[in-house]
Structure 1
Amino acid sequence: MTDDVPPLLPPDELPPTRAVSDLDRFWRSLKGRWGFSRPQLWCVVFGPLGEWTSIFLKIEDCPEQPDAATVVNLVDVLTTVVVDSVPGGSVAMMYARPGPDDRRADDREWARELDGAGRRAPIDVWPVFLANDERVRIAAPDDLAA
């Protein structure tokens, strides 16, 4: 995976998301060349074949540290959406914040909470991604270690 920004295509024109490299391209394409004005969480639901469903949630003004109960509730809501509206679909989540790519403790905490809630969900949840003004990247094993 590179940090080059792919061509900015509308989500419905992107190829299906079938591998982590596809998800990396998807997030980088959505982010574009711009940064973030405040911490936020992006969530997307893909169809059973990795296709765009237009179900996209952007939560702005996220706290610096995640609240575990709130993250679990969010994943529960996303699970309900998939089960009720997109059977066989999947969920992807990305925590984004303004600033440089300095791998902050808060980034790792968000990655751990999102990953943990996703692993407990009874649906397919993609690996968590992290983003900042400089870069989009998958949450590495070191980010997820306690």
Structure 2
Amino acid sequence: MTDEIPPLTRPEDMPPVRTQADLHRHFRALMGRLGFSRTSLWLAFFDEDGHSLPMLQEIDDLPELPSVDDLASLMRLCDYVLGIAGVPDGRVGFLLSRPGGPGVSAYDRAWASGLTTAARECGVRAFAVHLANDVELRAFTPDDAVA
């Protein structure tokens, strides 16, 4: 995938997100130039057709390891947001951003695995978790989980 930064437009003018490449492009536009001073989890919401909802949630001060209770609460929040937006069959995109270099750390792995498992167990439709650091933006792959 290219590292070009697509233009950031209003949510309703962003191209729909239906594939992994679409989500990468979407997050790349949202993040702009890479470089982070702290770790955050970003939640992006999409309707059934992949159109971006006009809300983006950033959560700071993440614990090193996600707890089952915290992840379940987060999934309830996602379900609630999609419900009040009138798109209960919508999807969520998770982006973990952190300072530092490329690659996947044990911290990244724990969060991506926890988010993926919690979404599946709670019935929240979600795209593959993405990771952004000071060098790259990438999807978390199944190979990353076993590394």
Same fold? TM cut 0.5: yes
Q: Aligned-pair distance for 1:7?
A: 3.0
Report SS of the residue matched to 1:125: coil
Contact 1:39–1:64 (Cα < 8 Å) also in 2:
no
Letter in 2 for 1:75: M
Alignment of 1:1-146 (within 5 A): 1-85=1-85, 86-145=87-146
Partner deviation per Cα, 1:62-107 (whole Å, 9 max, x = no partner)? 2233223212210121112223432321111111111111321111
Separation in structure 1 between the aligned mates of residue 32 and residue 7 of structure 2, nearest angstrom: 8
Separation in structure 2 between the aligned mates of residue 67 and residue 133 of structure 1, nearest angstrom: 26
Q: Aligned-pair distance for 1:129?
A: 0.8
Gaps of 5+ in 2: none
Q: Bigger shift: 9-18 or 28-37?
A: 9-18
Q: Aligned-pair distance for 1:111?
A: 0.8
Letter in 2 for 1:82: L
What is the Cα-based RMSD across aligned positions, in Å?
Answer: 1.8
Q: Aligned-pair distance for 1:4?
A: 3.0
Q: Aligned-pair distance for 1:121?
A: 2.8
Gaps of 5+ in 1: none
Separation in structure 1 between the aligned mates of residue 145 and residue 68 of structure 2, nearest angstrom: 15
What is the TM-score of this pair, normalised by structure 1? 0.89
What is the TM-score of this pair, normalised by structure 2? 0.89
